Structure 1
Amino acid sequence: MQSTQYSSFWFQEALKSEPDFQPRKLETDTTADVCIVGGGFTGLWTAIQLKVKQPSLDILVIEKDLCGSGASGRNGGCMLTWSTKYLSLKKLYGEAEAIRLVKASEAAVYDIEAFCKTHGIEAQIRLDGTLYTASNKAQLGLMAPVLAALDKQSINAWKPWTTEKVKSESGSDLHLEGHFSSAAGTVQPGLLVRGLKRVAEQMGVSIFEHTPMTELHRQNTPIRITTPCANIEADKVVLALNAWTPSLFPELKHSVVLVSSDMLITEPAPDLLKNLGFRDGKSVIDGRTFVHYYRTTPDGRLMLGKGGNYFSFGNRMSAVFDQPSRYQTILDAAFRRFFPALQSVPLETTWTGASDRSATGMPFFGRLADNPAVVYGLGYSGNGVVQSWIGGQILSSLVLDEDNDWTRSGLASGPKGSFPPEPIRWLGAILVRNAIRRKESAEDENRTPNWLDKQLSRLAQSAGKADKS
């Protein structure tokens, strides 16, 4: 199976482990109890959870390309939790639910690892934690309010590290402060999503790739899904399209904004990385609004990414998201600042991923107003590797009409905010993005940012850090 058409290093590497794989395309009309549209983390976790709960269900997954070729196979592979978003969770859903969601997100890290071990998915999972840092003086103390709130509820997994320890274990002297949580890790996301596809099929889920949905006849009973070569009739439908959702469903087009997260990865240099202090698989995330995030791989590569670059006009899935990063200059500058000792290490490649960022920075799930048999989930806001496991729990519960903690959660009540229509949305996003860039550039140089840039930057900070995973 040739993989050169996919820009993501992770997905190309994953497909190399399937040399004899041939995708199966839907070519004959069929029926199903549940049709899941989208073969990424959300769709596959939902299919698996449905099979666990009701093994007799006839479940069909359709994917317009290959399973995992979207955001699931091209993110940074950082397994992070909702603990740093506790204050936002409390504001949105109340104290008790916020505590439950923090605990659930931390448990999900270990649940995913256990699932992979049980089912033989070799996804390079390394639960070595995560380190949140300050990479300039302006970022010092930013975590203090949320840590104090977590302490108050006795759910604080974060530990402060000395500056010396932060520098020695982060691989960079740029960091001035750091807090470490062991409830986190890293994963090769392409291998994980392809492993989920294999397990879902072994459980009896029918999966068809290169089978895009061309139309959803949501008023039909059963619901009819049209594809280029065949029709599907299903009692329930799950829309697990993430960044593709707003362009297909007008009622959700103002619920997210599509923004790129851009990544680079080096060729292997294990000895150099070890000399810098990289000895495990922890992720490192700095304290800016559109964060820098980086991690190593088991074969000694360094991956670095940065969010908040390309904003899509009208939430169109532009070709930009399927190409090498057009922001390599920005990535290269960050790489040089963080790792001056690695300047001789060649880059393997760069790539781009689309993040469906919600107004709150949290995902949302629900039912289409005109047909509750159609459920959806999106808005992971760059933090979906772990949270898509929870998404599978929520969507499977909605499909089965269960009355449980997930269906009663505020997460399952649709979007909690919206963005303005175009062109205001795009113009506002660019205005804020550029203000953030100027503000953080000044802070990196120990200069006082412009007052207006600081005020505009606060508009993006209200939903917390973005684009990390």
Structure 2
Amino acid sequence: MTNWYGPAARDRSASAAQARAQRAIADAAPAIFWTDRPDRPQPRSRLTGARSADLVVIGGGFTGLWAAILAKQDNPAADVVVLEARSIGFGASGRNGGFVSDSLTHGLAHGLSQWPDELETLVRLGRENVAAIAGTVRQFDIDAGLRLCGKTTVAVAAHQVAELAALAELHRSYGDDATLLDGDQVRADVASPTYLGGVRLRGSGGLVDPARLAWGLARAAEALGVTIHEDTRVTGFDRSRGGVVVRTGDGRISCHRVVIGTNAYPPPLRRLRHWILPVYDYVLVTERLTDAQRMELRWPEAQGVTDAGNQFHYYRLTDDNHILFGGFDAVYRFGNRVDEALDQRDATHRLLAQHFADTFPQLDGVRFTHRWGGAIDSTTRFTPMFGITRDRRIAYAVGYTGLGVAASRFGAQVALDLLAGRETERTRLRMVRRRPVPFPPEPLRYPVVELTRRALAAADARDGRRGPWLRLLDRFGVGFNS
């Protein structure tokens, strides 16, 4: 008689789950859901020839677009030019989950561990930043589905329940509307058998369609008088008597100041590569749910959800009832490699499909229509790095570690403050004045990152207990996370 309860049975069960996951992703287009639309903007022209400007912004993602808008709002007479190597929102800005976080510190607990004396100020500035984003969306009538609905963090392992209780108390101590939910309560809100508890945050961030936000910000910038060139890769800088000459493949711009917002992509300042780690994150999007499937989920407020592990998932409903499901794997390639060939990874997409089936078994048979990946930019402290160089002519804000949808506006403000020589509440922050610890160079970088990834996974498997390597990293304020 066959033993259905031994290792062979577990192998058969795992094999069947993998086969179901493969079928679920079999027809998924290798394309980004947000940008796979017939109404996406027409390409803008490439820069050719020589011209001049007051400010050149390198990168047409959120950091660059916010820098251009804020610079023009500060000085409407300024000649501002944005240079984008591909198209607006091509990088992380157009392919993320659309989570709008008011945290500037990669979460409240992390901020407390890094900058306890400044956290109250950082919390306030983060809230003001999100309010300003909402104000800009209203001012320019940007149809990006922005909803400040907060989010829910769920416990999917027993040790995470106590951790979330402490997190809820921490949020309440800083004035957040945080409700601790037991298992029955969180499952009554979003129907997943994997949930053991949760924290519901309201009035603290929310969701947006990231591509439509990027496209809308580009239109707003142009309405203010900003010039945007796509398909224009910056190849380097030259000094000039009046400032900086920005070189591109087919042109050059003489300008007074430059803001760099390239983030995970290779920066035109090579020195930044010591501090920035490009990490690949992967995402699936389901077919549109039927009304019956939507009702089975409950999820009345359609807030974003993340789970509380070191290797965590993030997921959300779109406005038209698809589910976006991503995260867990965070994959670094040797040598800081960023390449379109890495945007697809069968093993990770199949694993995400399996995890989706575990999270929502009532949606058995739902298939995925889109699958993609992309690089996000991390620093050793998980928060952005700011700086200025080349005779105070070039400023940068890079390293948002997955929370750049909102924090990029703050980063753009800091970069402009630095260029203007303004001492502000922002530039006085230790988070701004002090750089994170750099990553080690290759060939050491890759094994250190892999060691850290394995240690994080092991901590999840050991009820959250962090081993000696993670404790050492904690001591020095460095680590690795998705």
Deviations 1:79-115 (A, max 9, x none): 12327733433444442x2111112223333322232
SS in structure 1 opposite 2:395? strand
- Contact 2:30–2:370 at 8 Å: present in 1 too? no
Deviations 1:280-308 (A, max 9, x none): 33110111113111000111100011144
Whether 1:18 and 2:40 are equivalent positions in the alignment is yes
CA change 1:93–1:458 in 2 (3 A) is: closer
Q: Which moved more, 1:419-428 or 1:85-94?
A: 85-94
Which residue of structure 2 lines up, in the alignment, with residue 404 of structure 1?
A: 424
Query: In the comparison of the two structures, how many residue pairs are matched?
Result: 450
Deviations 1:357-401 (A, max 9, x none): 111111121112x43110001110111111112112212222322
CA change 1:135–1:27 in 2 (3 A) is: same
CA change 1:219–1:255 in 2 (3 A) is: farther
The amino acid of 2:447's aligned partner reads L
The amino acid of 2:250's aligned partner reads C
Which residue of structure 1 lines up, in the alignment, with residue 197 of structure 2?
A: 177
Q: Which of 422, 447, 456 is the aligned partner of 1:436?
A: 456
The within-5 A match list for 1:376-387 is 376-387=396-407
CA change 1:273–1:218 in 2 (3 A) is: farther
Whether 1:8 and 2:26 are equivalent positions in the alignment is no
CA change 1:426–1:224 in 2 (3 A) is: same
Which residue of structure 1 lines up, in the alignment, with residue 110 of structure 2?
A: 88
The within-5 A match list for 1:249-260 is 249-260=269-280
SS in structure 2 opposite 1:7? coil
- Contact 1:243–1:356 at 8 Å: present in 2 too? yes
CA change 1:290–1:372 in 2 (3 A) is: farther
**Deviation (angstroms), 1:328:** 1.0
Deviations 1:109-131 (A, max 9, x none): 33222321221111111222100
Q: Which runs of 5+ in 2 are unaligned?
A: 1-27
Report the TM-score when normalising by structure 1. Answer: 0.89
The within-5 A match list for 1:122-201 is 122-152=143-173, 154-182=174-202, 183-201=204-222
CA change 1:5–1:229 in 2 (3 A) is: farther
Report the TM-score when normalising by structure 2. Answer: 0.87
User: 2: distance between equivalents of 1:6 and 1:65?
Assistant: 18
Which one has a bigger Cα radius of gyration? 2
- Contact 1:171–1:273 at 8 Å: present in 2 too? no
Deviations 1:131-173 (A, max 9, x none): 0111111322224445444544x43332212322211223312
The amino acid of 2:195's aligned partner reads H
- Contact 2:30–2:372 at 8 Å: present in 1 too? no
CA change 1:214–1:250 in 2 (3 A) is: closer
**Deviation (angstroms), 1:311:** 0.5
User: 1: distance between equivalents of 2:108 and 2:119?
Assistant: 6
The amino acid of 1:68's aligned partner reads G
- Contact 2:149–2:303 at 8 Å: present in 1 too? yes
- Contact 1:262–1:325 at 8 Å: present in 2 too? no
User: 2: distance between equivalents of 1:42 and 1:22?
Assistant: 20
**Deviation (angstroms), 1:22:** 3.3
Deviations 1:401-422 (A, max 9, x none): 2221122222332522221121
Q: Which runs of 5+ in 1 are unaligned?
A: none
Whether 1:319 and 2:340 are equivalent positions in the alignment is yes
Q: Which of 410, 413, 423 is the aligned partner of 2:443?
A: 423
Q: Which moved more, 1:388-397 or 1:155-164?
A: 155-164
The amino acid of 1:385's aligned partner reads V
Q: Which of 114, 120, 123 is the aligned partner of 2:141?
A: 120
Whether 1:33 and 2:49 are equivalent positions in the alignment is no
